[in-house]
């Protein structure tokens, strides 16, 4: 039932440091693509003023999240909801912040477009969308490890692979009204990208 992703253990502390800085002090944090649920539990425990709402489209992942939510017994951690970023309607109509970790490269680019469009629907003026993962930048890989990872993903399916920040994500974000507010280098050649409404 309960799944475990070693990467989520490694990146949770560096991610938390960024989230503490960029998230609102209180309100609802909607997590898209929560996976095993490790991050949702960790961030809910570390940020008790926020209500954390995990989501994932996969039944297996939601079962893992549900098991972790039950075990954690945190008053600010909600049971998982089914959400595919591409859905034209999300199960939550309002959130104060949206977080999405390690989804862009394992889903078709339409999922990234869906994430930006959905975040634009649920966030208030001045809301924040934070994404994390390995990326290409300026059309180039930022490490040999990322390049090999990208190749293995594309071998699995041509629609998968590391997304280029400038040529792929920034235009998709702009189409939904978001601008890249901050690019935070993370361990192991990952990036946290902080997106805010272009007018904010």
**In the complex, which residues of this chain contact ligand SAM (CB under 6 A)?**
5, 8, 32-36, 39, 56-58, 61, 84-86, 101-103, 106-107, 111
Q: Which is nearer to ligand SAM, 13 or 139 (CB)?
A: 13
Q: Which is nearer to ligand SAM, 58 or 76 (CB)?
A: 58
Cβ at position 81, least distance to ligand SAM in Å: 11
Residue number of the CB atom closest to ligand SAM: 35
Cβ at position 9, least distance to ligand SAM in Å: 9
Cβ at position 36, least distance to ligand SAM in Å: 6
Q: Which is nearer to ligand SAM, 111 or 117 (CB)?
A: 111
Q: Which is nearer to ligand SAM, 103 or 120 (CB)?
A: 103
Cβ at position 84, least distance to ligand SAM in Å: 4
Q: Which is nearer to ligand SAM, 22 or 200 (CB)?
A: 22
Other beta carbons less than 10 A from residue 189's beta carbon: 15
Q: How far is residue 46's CA from residue 16's CA, in Å, rounded to a whole number?
A: 8
Q: How far is residue 84's CA from residue 108's CA, in Å, rounded to a whole number?
A: 12
> Where are the alpha helices (H) located in 157-199, listed in sequence order?
170-175
Q: How far apart are the first and last CA of the chain?
A: 42
Cβ at position 57, least distance to ligand SAM in Å: 5
The values of phi and psi at residue 182, to 5°, are -155, 140
Q: Which is nearer to ligand SAM, 81 or 179 (CB)?
A: 81
Cβ at position 157, least distance to ligand SAM in Å: 12
What strand order describes the sheet that includes 163-164?
140-141, 135-137, 163-164
Angle (nearest 5°) at CA 22 between 191 and 150? 15
Structure tokens at 164: 């280029």
Angle (nearest 5°) at CA 119 between 117 and 123? 130
């Amino acid at each position: 039932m309960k799944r475990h992703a070693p990467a989520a253990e490694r990146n949770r502390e560096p991610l938390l440091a960024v989230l503490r800085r960029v998230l609102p002090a209180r309100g609802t944090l909607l997590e898209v693509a929560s996976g095993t649920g490790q991050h949702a539990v960790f961030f809910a425990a570390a940020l008790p003023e926020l209500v954390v709402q995990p989501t994932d489209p996969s039944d297996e992942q939601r079962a893992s999240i549900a098991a972790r939510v039950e075990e954690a017994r945190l008053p600010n951690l909600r049971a998982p909801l089914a959400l595919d970023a591409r859905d034209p309607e999300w199960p939550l109509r309002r959130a104060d912040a949206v977080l999405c970790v390690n989804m862009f490269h394992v889903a078709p680019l339409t999922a990234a477009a869906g994430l930006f469009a959905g975040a634009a629907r649920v966030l208030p003026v001045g809301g924040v969308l934070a994404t994390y993962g390995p990326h290409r930048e300026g059309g180039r890989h930022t490490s040999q490890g990322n390049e090999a990872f990208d190749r293995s993903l594309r071998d699995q399916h041509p629609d998968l692979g590391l997304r280029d920040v400038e040529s792929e994500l920034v235009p998709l974000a702009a189409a939904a009204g978001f601008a890249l507010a901050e690019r935070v280098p993370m361990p192991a050649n990952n990036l946290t990208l902080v997106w805010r409404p272009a007018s904010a």
